[in-house]
Each structure stands twice: as structure tokens, then as C-alpha cells.
Structure 1
Amino acid sequence: MTNIHRGEIAAEIGGEERVLCLTLGALAELEGRLGAGDLAGLGERFAGGRVSARDLTAILGAGLRGGGSAITDDQLAQMSVEGGLRGAAEIAVRLLQATFGERE
């Protein structure tokens, strides 16, 4: 079960419902992997609306590891995502909103 107050979301990836969460460790991983330098750099990178498949893999992979899955980005890249590319992008947006967005 997910806890949105901790920034967790659920998504179907690889035929299973999985928990994703951008923990501090996952965010640090993203900063390094995407060469963003800091959280503001990550925000700037994603604010432009241009996201590569590599970015999606990095976001989802970090989120899965932050949610407790022992999965590599290479393994993730071989998995199906419900809704295909659009579905992967929607999962990434939900994850970023859960991490950085306003709480209701």
C-alpha cells in the first residue's frame, strides 16, 4: 500500500503493481545520473517539458529503487509499462508531483 504523504505512488510495471518513491537517495542518484548538479538543476531539466527515454528510465528506475525494488535500469528498460511510452511518462509525472507537488 502506498503513502502519498511520503511521496509514494503505485504503478503497473513489468506486469506487477510496484511502489515508486523518490527518496533523498533516489534524488541524489538522479542528480548524478542526469548531470543536474542539484535539486534546482533537476527542476530546470524537467520544467522545459523535454524528457528523453533515458530520463524516463532514470526517473522510474530511481523511483522503483526508492520504493524498495532491487532493479537495475537495464532490467527496467526490458519491462513493459502499462500504457507504453505515454504510460511511462504519466508515471514519471505522477512520481515527480508526489515528490515535489503541493499536498492537498
Structure 2
Amino acid sequence: MRNGRSFGEWEQQLLERFANRRPLALTPQQLAEKWPGISRNQIAMLCQTDISRVNRWLTQGRSQEKPSPYYSQTLALFDIFLEFHEQLPAPLISRYCDCD
């Protein structure tokens, strides 16, 4: 799909900055600490997974399970949307948050 744009110097610079970024990852524990009141059910809905998996992520001890990079990245992206929602342009929110 062409959008009428070319990949120029500015785009290359953005690519390099993006490729060299810090890893985008957040644990369920970090999200829950940062946003008190978020429930395990909401985390499950956000990650499109079941509550039993979230419970394993949030359990302490031997039965604790580490979320995959996909889930950690999803949680980090949601945190960015929560933290900066007032500054995000509507087209960006629509692009990533609407089901249409």
C-alpha cells in the first residue's frame, strides 16, 4: 500500500532512533504499582488473555510465570497511552485503540 510518501533522510533518522531505543517492556507488577486500582481482569482484557495467566504473572514464589515480551510490550504501550493521553493526537488514538 502506497501512501504517497517517500522514505527520506528524516525517516531514516527516525528509524535509527527507534531501532536504538530502550526496550519497551513493563511487568504486570509495575503497571499495577503505577496505576493503583487496575484489576487483574482489566490486565487480562488489555493483554487479551485469561485471568489465570495474569494470576500466574502476579503470584509470588515458585509458581510465578514471567510474561512474554509481547505482553510486556503491550503493557508498556498501554502505560504510555495512559500517561500521555492528553497529548496524543486523536488520529493516533483512533489508529491503535479503535476496533474498526
TM over 0.5: no
With a CA cutoff of 8 Å and minimum separation of 6, indicate the structure with the bigger relative contact order: 1
TM-score (norm 1): 0.31
Higher Rg: 2
